[in-house]
Amino acid sequence: MTNTTVEPDEATRLRNDVVEQLLADGTIFSAEIEVAMRKVPRHEFTPNTPLEKAYDPYAAVITKMDEHGVQLSSVSAPQIQAMMLEQAKVRPGMRVLEIGSGGLNAAYLAELVGEEGEVVTVDIDPAVTDRASRLLIEHGYDKVRVVTADAAEPIPGLGEVDVVMVTAGAWDIAPAWISQLKPHGRLVVPLRMRGLTRSIAFTQVSGEHGTYLESESALICGFVPMQGSTAHREELLLVNGTPEIGLRFDDGLPADPHRLDNAVTTPRHEMWTGVTIGLQELLDTLQMTMAIALPGFCIMAVDEDLDTGVVAPSNKRFALAAVEGDSFAYLVTRRTKDNKHVEYGVHALGPKAQHLADKVTDVLRDWEANHRGGPSPIIRVYPASTPDEQITADRVIDKVHSRIALSWPPA
pLDDT (tens place) for every residue of the chain, 411 residues total: 444 444 678 999 999 999 999 999 999 999 999 999 999 999 999 888 899 999 999 988 875 544 544 444 578 899 999 999 999 999 999 999 999 988 999 999 999 999 999 999 999 999 999 999 999 999 999 999 999 999 999 999 999 999 999 998 899 999 999 999 999 999 999 999 999 999 999 999 887 878 899 999 999 887 666 666 667 788 999 998 678 999 999 988 898 999 998 899 999 999 999 999 988 887 889 999 999 999 999 999 999 999 999 999 999 999 999 999 999 999 999 999 988 899 999 999 999 999 999 999 999 999 999 999 889 999 999 999 999 999 999 999 999 999 999 999 986
Catalytic residue selected from 30, 73, 74, 76: 76
Contact between 362 and 370 under an 8 Å Cβ cutoff? The reply is: no
* Distance in angstroms between the alpha carbons of the first and the last residue of the chain: 47
Alpha-carbon distance values, 101 to 123, 181, 190, 228 (Å): 5, 19, 14, 14
Q: b/e per residue, 389-406, with b = 16+ CB within 10 A?
A: eebebebbbebebbbbbb
Q: How far is CA 1 from CA 44, 110, 122, in A?
A: 14, 9, 21
- d(C-alpha 113, C-alpha 163), whole Å: 11
| Residue 217 annotated in active site | no
The predicted model scores a pTM of: 0.89
Residue 228, SS3? Answer: helix
Q: What is the DSSP string of 346-411?
A: EEEESTTHHHHHHHHHHHHHHHHHHTTTSPPPEEEEEETT--GGG---SEEEE-SSEEEEEEPPP-
Q: Is 222 helix (H, G, I), strand (E, B) or coil?
A: coil
Find the length of the chain: 411
Residue 137 and residue 145 in contact, taking contact as beta carbons nearer than 8 Å: no
SS3 38: helix
Give backbone dihedrals phi and psi of 98, rounded to 5 degrees, phi first: -105, 130
